Amino acid sequence: MLRSFSLLFFLSACVSQNVSATDAALHAVAEIHGAAGPWAVAGYRMGEFALAKLGAKRGGFDLDVTHHAPAKVQYSCMVDGNAAATGASLGKLSLHLVPAAEDELSTTYVLKSTGASLTLQPTAEFKARYKDVPHEKFDAVAREILALPYSAIFAER
């Protein structure tokens, strides 16, 4: 609740100070994840796409998000980006991290009220291009990922 309030406060301040949508998204990811790394930003983009496609509301209790990933930091980072975009959380029992093989890396979004679902998987090109990005390049790479079309980051499965 406090993070949602601080995010809303920050976004309101952004509008009044003409802060870019890019900076607002990077801040939202960093609030949850600690930094706006490339894989967390990819998770954010996936989450915002899923909200729009399913007609879900950020922060509500109707969306269930399950991230399937190996127990490796860059792949698991995506779950935090999803949390930043969707408002799903462990405490609301709406955010889940399930151990999976690297070739099963994906996130499934389910709208509980209708049963509508969507599964997104990072593209092979995204995984190859952004694997093991050094920390000192996070800001530039995160901005690059925010500018990419969705199809360059993930595909529906």
CATH of the domain at 53: 3.30.1330.130
pLDDT confidence of residue 43:
98
Q: Which residues sit opposite 69 in a β-bridge?
A: 99
pLDDT confidence of residue 18:
61
Q: How far apart are CA 75 and CA 153, in angstroms?
A: 13
Residues in the chain predicted with pLDDT less than 50, given as ranges, are 1-2, 4-6, 9-10, 13-16
Share of the chain above pLDDT 90, in %: 87
Of 124, 116, 45, which Cα lies nearest the Cα of 80? 45
pTM of structure: 0.87
Of 63, 61, 40, 47, which Cα lies nearest the Cα of 135? 40
Of 118, 81, 115, which Cα lies nearest the Cα of 97? 81
CB of 86 closer than 8 Å to CB of 47: yes
Burial of 100 (0-12, 13-18, 19+ CB in 10 A): middle
Strand order in the sheet with 106-111: 95-99, 63-69, 106-111, 117-122, 154-156
CA distances from 11 to 4, 17, 29, 38 (A): 10, 10, 13, 21
pLDDT confidence of residue 26:
94
State the total domains in the chain.
1
**Domain range holding 141?**
2-156
